[in-house]
Amino acid sequence: MTKPWHTIDGNDTSDGFLELRQRNGSEFLITIDGRVLMNSWASQSEVLLSKLACNLMNSKKAPRVLIGGLGMGCTLKAALDELPGDARVVVAELNPVVVRWCYGPVAALTGGAVNDPRVTIEIADVASQIRNSAMNGGDNRFDAIILDLYEGPFEAARERGDYLYGEAALAMSGSALMPGGVFAVWSEDPDKAFERRIVRAGFAFKRHRPGRGSRHVVYIATKSSSSS
């Protein structure tokens, strides 16, 4: 018999009350203001996002990867599974409570990926991390930037998403990447306008679906290897 959900922790945020819910011992749900952000049994698109992006890092020496959004750690775990032992992964997460959950009640879902010695967790806005990398340049740039954020770049979220997915933001991400770098984005739905913007920003991209029937999509974009 399926047991009902119960809240095991929560925290007020500017977007509403953030909750971690649990049932049957091993099933978890994160909600904000009553809306489901993620669950522990449907992470195919997040895994595909990291797998496709980080599989391209195997030939690089000590690749540096930036992940925007920690969630339950599924994106991070998938990245670590693909990356070499000398990789360095920075995860930018806005909510300290989410980090605490990944060290605590949901750690078993990813085998404690947050404890991997390759990983650094920053309580920060990923847009600031991208801007700092672009402004400092050189070895401060990343080989891959992976954005696994709620809703993604779809048109209805433009007002909130411009700071990451608008024209200027995409150009900034390009500057924050090494030549040939990978820019990977999770999106709730396909977005033709975003696709046009990413091409204008100098990327070549492919759109992927995690499985038949899924409306979620994953964009894997690459920066020209001749770009500085």
| Per-residue pLDDT tens digits for 42-91 | 888 999 999 999 998 888 999 999 999 999 999 999 999 999 999 999 99
Q: What is the pLDDT of residues 163-189, one digit of tens each?
A: 899 999 999 999 999 999 999 999 988
Residue 190 CB coordination number (10 Å): 14
pLDDT at res. 102: 96
Distances in whole angstroms, Cα of residue 115 to Cα of each of 31, 102, 107, 125, 146: 24, 10, 9, 21, 19
pLDDT at res. 29: 93
pLDDT at res. 1: 60
pTM exceeding 0.85:
yes
Residue located via tokens 């990327």: 203
> Backbone phi, then psi, for 141, in 5-degree steps?
-75, 160
CA 154 to chain centre: 15
pLDDT band at 25 (very low <50, low <70, confident <90, very high): confident
pLDDT band at 15 (very low <50, low <70, confident <90, very high): confident
Identify residue 140 by its one-letter amino acid code. N
Q: Distance between CA 112 and CA 13 in Å, rounded?
A: 25
pLDDT band at 34 (very low <50, low <70, confident <90, very high): confident
Instruction: Choose between 61 and 15: higher pLDDT.
Output: 61
